[in-house]
Amino acid sequence: MQELDPAILDKANAWLKGNYDADVKQQVQKLIDDKAYTDLTDSFYKDLEFGTGGLRGLMGPGSNRINKYTIGAATQGLANYLKKTYPGEKIKVAIAHDSRNNSDVLAGITADVFSANDIYVYFFKALRPTPELSFAVRHLGCKSGVMLTASHNPKEYNGYKAYGEDGGQFVAPHDKAVMDEVAAISSVDEVKFTRNEANIEFIGEEIDQLYLDKITALSVSPEAIKRQKDLKIVYSPLHGTGVTLVPKALEQFGFENVTVLESQATPDGNFPTVVYPNPEEKEALNLAMEKAKEIDADLVMATDPDADRVGIAVKNDKGEVVLLNGNQVATQLINYLLSAWEEKGKFTGKEYIVKTIVTSYLIDTIAKDKGVECYNTLTGFKYIGELMTKFEGEKTFIGGGEESYGYLIGDIVRDKDAVVSAAFIAEMTAFYKDKGSSLFEALVDTYLKYGFYKETLISITKKGKTGAEEIKAMMEQYRTNPPATLGGSKVIALKDYELRKETDLTSNTVTPIDLPKSDVLQFVTEDGSIISARPSGTEPKIKFYCSVNTKLASKEAFHETEKQLDEKLKTIMQDLGV
């Protein structure tokens, strides 16, 4: 039987003796009585930390779990940070939540703590998407915002996304400052849980309409939509918040033939019809794709529980309904936006787009061809938001995205936005259909012009304390012993974002990387493949991103070329030992 570290028992006993609710103490006592030492260790071996997506974890008792007290401490720390940062000012914050179990309760606790600290709270009276929270922070002049969500994680998880006054998630040095304030709270007694009703104002439909109007004003091809208003769309909110705004956004754009998938339309934190409520998972779109086949739809879309990510399926050249991955959708959105802007003569020379370092480099190629600046940031949409804020008033942000199904068009929010993305994916589909083409054909045309880029992602889950140690050891091994070849091609460069340096392995010269420090390694091969290894900041996973490319000789060669690229991806992953 596993031995229990005495420090873990001390921490658990502190909760038993402390000012915690009786039911929480009961749950902790049960873990001790049942000798559930693995669970007890995972619950108490550390305090929940902010990752690329804020605070996220399994729900339950303990310092490493999402519960009233970890949420309360995070909010108290954030309140302390805000009061120190904006002394003497009236501080306002916005709070929203998704459809997850306990999200509404945890949002209420967050509001309690802010209001008790004499911070004015705009509280969404019902569930709303994450991007609308980002919009509300900006629109209402808030200093911060909080979204209670664990995004696309399994149902056992919940989380807390904290936003700064620009509507983006906190970045350095502010994220560290908030974490320091949270860490400085040594006792639950320091958290003010007593709600002050005078500091809470409920918001809802009026913000919805403002947000939808701003999105609609971004439309680039309204005439194409008018002609293709009957475009058949199947949409699934996967039991999440998307149902509140995505159908309205599509309607306001002018689409009149949208089928909302009934079996997944009701918000439900148990996500009863899917294994994971994640549009990155093929299984999550199965029911929507079946519906699409039944009604012969042109487009399938599904959003995750907090509606910041969207997955899509389209008809291919054989009439089959097929999924597009995040890289393909990001590529096509950027290609469509740049082409439509070019067609309308909207370019002024100050436009730019943003993507992350693990997102398809086909986007860089397209941007270069169109004469538009393309910036690469670290993984995490907060870095895209940070860049947007930096360039506000100087340059025009057209759009951006990341391979994990998160995209943004226009600058009204500072986070990935499945509401505006769903509207533009539909607009893009209408645009190509209006030209006698399809979204799938347009993708093949992009490959014909710029090269066929194919990407894959492999995630390896390693849970708990031992898992975290294994992931650390894997990264250390790759760092000190990089592979000499991958997929039969020589590795010619190693980019170490932790050390912020790029090593040219042929000449052994080192150049600095001008991005914040991050535990990411990238291998670049002679034939243009790029392979990235990155531990997740929000889940117990290590992720491997792999991109290969080749010339596409003709449309007819698409399927054969795709097979070859898939084989190459498989070989590279085998070479990496994953």
Contact call for residues 550 and 452 (beta carbons, < 8 A): yes
Whether 169 shows a pLDDT value over 50: the answer reads yes
Please tell me the distance from the alpha carbon of residue 366 to that of residue 127, in angstroms, as a whole number. Answer: 38
Q: Which DSSP letter does residue 4 get?
A: P
Tell me what pLDDT residue 179 has.
84
Reported as a single tens digit per residue, the pLDDT across 175-233 is 889 888 988 998 999 999 999 999 999 999 999 999 999 999 999 999 999 999 999 99
Reported as a single tens digit per residue, the pLDDT across 74-105 is 999 999 999 999 999 999 999 999 999 999 99
Q: Work out the mean pLDDT of the chain and round it to a whole number.
A: 95
Strand partners, 355: 376, 401
Lowest average pLDDT, out of 34-43, 297-306, 458-467, goes to 458-467
At 506, list the tokens: 């042929």
Torsion of CA 386, 388, 390, 395, to 10 degrees: 170
Q: List helix spans (H) across 348-417.
A: 362-370, 381-391
Q: Which residue has the tokens 């009026």?
A: 206
Tell me what pLDDT residue 47 has.
85
Predicted confidence band of residue 1 (pLDDT cuts 50, 70, 90): very low
The proportion of the chain whose per-residue pLDDT surpasses 90, expressed as a percent, equals: 89
At 427, list the tokens: 């607009």
Q: Which residues contact 44 (CB under 8 A, 6 or more apart)?
A: 8, 11, 12, 15, 62, 63, 64
Tell me what pLDDT residue 183 has.
85
Q: Which residues are catalytic?
A: 151
The helix or strand, by DSSP H or E, that contains position 430, with its residue range, turns out to be helix 418-434
Tell me what pLDDT residue 51 has.
56
> Shortest CA distance to 523 belongs to which of 472, 459, 475, 454?
475
Reported as a single tens digit per residue, the pLDDT across 19-70 is 999 999 999 999 999 989 999 999 999 888 765 556 889 999 999 999 999 9
Reported as a single tens digit per residue, the pLDDT across 109-166 is 999 999 999 999 999 999 999 999 999 999 999 999 999 999 888 999 999 999 999 9
Predicted confidence band of residue 12 (pLDDT cuts 50, 70, 90): very high
Angle formed by the axes of helices 22-33 and 37-44, to 10°? Answer: 130
At 307, list the tokens: 């509606």
Tell me what pLDDT residue 462 has.
86
Q: How many beta carbons lie within 10 A of that of residue 160, not counting itself?
A: 27
> Shortest CA distance to 418 belongs to which of 263, 280, 230, 223?
280
| DSSP notation for 163-208 | E-TTSSBP-TTHHHHHHHHHHT--SGGGS-----GGGEEEE-HHHH
Tell me what pLDDT residue 466 has.
85
Reported as a single tens digit per residue, the pLDDT across 243-252 is 999 999 999 9
Reported as a single tens digit per residue, the pLDDT across 404-448 is 999 999 999 999 999 999 999 999 999 999 999 999 999 999 999
423-452: string of b/e by CB count within 10 Å (b at 16+)? bbbbbbbbbbbbeeebbbbbbbebbbebeb
Whether 532 shows a pLDDT value over 50: the answer reads yes
Walk me through the domains of the chain, giving residue ranges and CATH numbers.
Answer: 46-203 (3.40.120.10), 210-450 (3.40.120.10), 452-576 (3.30.310)
Tell me what pLDDT residue 281 has.
93
Q: Which residue has the tokens 């089928």?
A: 259
